[in-house]
């Protein structure tokens, strides 16, 4: 649909909302073409095209929300229904929900792909997967099964509100995920690899060619097979950038999402020291990473938030509702997976800022500890307990990187662990992935190498 036709259709919905007496009406339409290929051991398991089209309506009526979604040509009905839902809710609220003021934007944003993924043929996409599969199998004879998923999308999101916001954003992504199984002497193990971009087109795979992905994941599987069973307990450790990213995401990132902050151990701690002074942690829309765009799904420009600045808890991620509730700035963190969902407060690109240590110095003086290089999942709890699965790690012996270890989890309590960071490296690195807080959101996270004193991280090993 042409943008002008779309906005004409949405305008009718706005008029319905105003007639019904809604304080705020937000219409979010979507036209997205997605493809997904799942590929297993040389065969195409699923080759899927999807035309996702629909309309989300959110209204604020007498201080309560109503949300509906459905067909694009049904704006009036959907808005009327959202008003009715909000009215029912509002009758039962004492404190009315209000929104932080913003300056409404009118803009049409574009992607600048060199190779638009939607113009690459299925044959070429499958050919890349064939090559990747061959490279992974060739990496080591102990590799026994390879599963790969590739997805991309291309489309537009339209946002129109009764405050005057009228934004069209071109959207898209490319994403590649591998799960590889290795076997030796009756022992099975597996490792994963995930990369993606919401900014670049298919040219992304020039930076991530099959050989690079295959070497990376093949190495992880073989290290798992060779790995020693890790010990259990507290040890000093050095965390690599990919693990530091997950630590940033899980240890404090989630609890800095305002809807969670207010129920968490960090509630009321803004302005207080929550970490070693060498820690500065940020969430921001970074160029070239996964999860950023110019505006969020409420039409607020995505902005940098310094969550921890030199050890002080300084900022939280907000949508307009929680910005008003907490009197913090609206930072553009309201994101929805698709038109089927209302917005939620989500991280974008979360990272520790670099420090001034040389990476090799971080290992010095550790008689025995662990070096955690890559992760498999992580999870946060409201009491600031965090967990990160480690799929690539090594012992540290007398300041040197030693034998590889089998996979395990590390955990800790952020309110304690962040104080025990005693060294921050100079070189930033990132990982790209997905966060599953109720809805799936593309995110990235990273940081430099960091060193954590004994007592900060509990190793869930067995020896």
Partner 1 sequence: MMNQMIDLCEYTVSMGEKAGADEIEAMWMKITSISVKAQLGEVSEASKTRNEKIKIRVIKDKAISSLVTYQLQKGTIQDAVEKAVQAAQASKKDDKWDSLPSPGTYTRMDLWDSTMEAITPEEMIDPVIEMVGLMPEDISVYLAFNDISLSQHACVNSNGIHHHDQGTGGAFGMMIVGKVEGGVTPGFDEVVFMRKYRPDPTDIARSLVDRVNLFKNTQTAASGKSHIIFAPEALEILFQYTLFQAVSGENVARGKTLLAGKEGELVADPSFTLHDNGTASEAMGSKEMDDEGVPCQDTPLIENGVLQGYIWNDYWAKRMATKSTGNAHYDDRTDEISIQQNCMVISPDDHGREELFDVRDGYYVLGLQGAHGSNPESGDFSVVCTPAFRIQNGELTGGVTGMMLSDNVFSLIKKVDAIGKESKVSGISILPPVRFRDVNVIAK
* Residue listed under structure tokens 């906005």: 7
Q: How far apart are the C-alpha atoms of 119 and 224, rounded to whole Å?
A: 39
Q: How far apart are the C-alpha atoms of 275 and 306, rounded to whole Å?
A: 13
**Residues between 103 and 122 that touch partner 1 (CB under 8 A):** 121-122
- Phi, then psi, of 235 in degrees rounded to 5: -140, 150
Written as six digits, the tokens of 264 are 């968490």
Is residue 158 classed exposed, middle or buried when 0-12, 13-18 and 19+ CB atoms within 10 A define those classes?
A: buried
Q: Which is nearer to partner 1, 31 or 296 (CB)?
A: 31
Q: How far apart are the C-alpha atoms of 194 and 278, rounded to whole Å?
A: 30
Q: How far apart are the C-alpha atoms of 213 and 194, rounded to whole Å?
A: 9
Position among 151, 165, 168, 293 found at the interface with partner 1 (CB under 8 A): 151
The reply to whether 171 sits near partner 1 by the rule CB under 8 A is no
Q: Which is nearer to partner 1, 123 or 287 (CB)?
A: 123
The reply to whether 172 sits near partner 1 by the rule CB under 8 A is no
> What is the nearest approach in angstroms of partner 1 to the Cβ of residue 173?
13
**Residues between 179 and 198 that touch partner 1 (CB under 8 A):** 181, 183, 187-190
Q: Residue 198: how many CA atoms within 13 Å on its side-chain side?
A: 22
Q: Which is nearer to partner 1, 267 or 358 (CB)?
A: 267
Q: Which is nearer to partner 1, 249 or 284 (CB)?
A: 249
* H-run or E-run covering 422: strand 421-424
The reply to whether 379 sits near partner 1 by the rule CB under 8 A is yes
* Contact characters 317-346, partner 1, x per CB under 8 A: --------------------x--xxx----
Position among 2, 5, 95, 185 found at the interface with partner 1 (CB under 8 A): 95
**Residues between 385 and 414 that touch partner 1 (CB under 8 A):** 385-389, 406-409, 411-413
CA 261 and chain centroid, separation: 18
> What is the nearest approach in angstroms of partner 1 to the Cβ of residue 284?
26
* Contact characters 214-233, partner 1, x per CB under 8 A: ------------------xx
- Phi, then psi, of 365 in degrees rounded to 5: 85, 0
**Residues between 13 and 72 that touch partner 1 (CB under 8 A):** 36, 38, 40-41, 43-54, 64-71
């Amino acid at each position: 649909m042409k943008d002008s036709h779309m906005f004409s259709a949405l305008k009718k919905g706005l008029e319905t909302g105003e007639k019904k007496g809604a304080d705020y009406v937000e219409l979010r339409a979507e036209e997205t073409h997605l493809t997904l290929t799942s590929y297993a051991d040389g065969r195409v398991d699923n080759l899927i095209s999807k035309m996702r089209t629909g309309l989300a309506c959110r209204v604020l009526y007498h201080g309560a929300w109503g949300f509906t979604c459905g067909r694009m040509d049904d704006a009036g009905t959907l808005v009327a229904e959202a008003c009715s839902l909000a009215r029912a809710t509002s009758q039962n609220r004492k404190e009315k929900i209000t929104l932080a003021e913003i300056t409404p934007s009118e803009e049409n944003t574009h992607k600048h792909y060199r190779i638009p993924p939607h113009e690459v043929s299925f044959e070429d996409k499958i050919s890349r997967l064939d090559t990747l599969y061959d490279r992974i199998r060739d990496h080591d004879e102990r590799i026994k099964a390879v599963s790969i998923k590739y997805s991309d999308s291309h489309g537009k999101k339209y946002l129109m509100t009764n405050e005057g916001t009228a934004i069209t954003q071109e959207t898209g992504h490319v994403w590649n995920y591998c799960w590889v199984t290795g076997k030796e002497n009756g022992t099975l193990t597996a490792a994963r690899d995930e990369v993606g971009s919401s900014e670049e087109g298919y040219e992304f795979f020039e930076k991530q060619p099959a050989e690079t992905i295959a070497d990376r994941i093949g190495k992880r599987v073989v290290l798992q097979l060779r790995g020693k069973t890790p010990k259990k307990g507290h040890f000093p450790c050095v965390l690599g950038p990919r693990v530091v990213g997950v630590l940033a995401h899980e240890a404090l990132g989630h609890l800095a999402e305002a809807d969670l902050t207010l129920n968490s151990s960090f509630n009321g701690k803004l302005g207080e020291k929550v970490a070693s002074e060498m820690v500065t942690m940020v969430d921001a829309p970074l160029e070239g990473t996964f999860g950023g765009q110019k505006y969020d799904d409420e039409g607020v420009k995505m902005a940098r938030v310094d969550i921890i600045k030199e050890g002080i808890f300084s900022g939280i991620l907000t949508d307009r509702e929680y910005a008003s509730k907490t009197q913090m700035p609206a930072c553009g963190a309201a994101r929805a997976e698709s038109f089927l969902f209302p917005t939620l407060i989500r991280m974008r690109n979360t990272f520790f800022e670099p420090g001034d240590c040389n990476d090799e110095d971080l290992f010095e003086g550790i008689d025995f500890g662990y070096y955690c290089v890559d992760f498999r999942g992580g999870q946060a709890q409201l009491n600031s307990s965090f967990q990160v699965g480690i799929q690539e790690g090594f012992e540290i012996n007398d300041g040197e990187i030693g034998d590889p270890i089998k996979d395990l989890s590390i955990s800790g309590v952020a309110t304690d662990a962040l104080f025990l960071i005693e060294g921050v490296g100079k070189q930033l690195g990132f990982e790209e992935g997905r966060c599953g807080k109720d809805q799936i959101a593309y995110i990235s996270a990273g940081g430099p190498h960091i060193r954590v004193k004994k007592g900060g991280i509990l190793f869930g090993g067995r020896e």
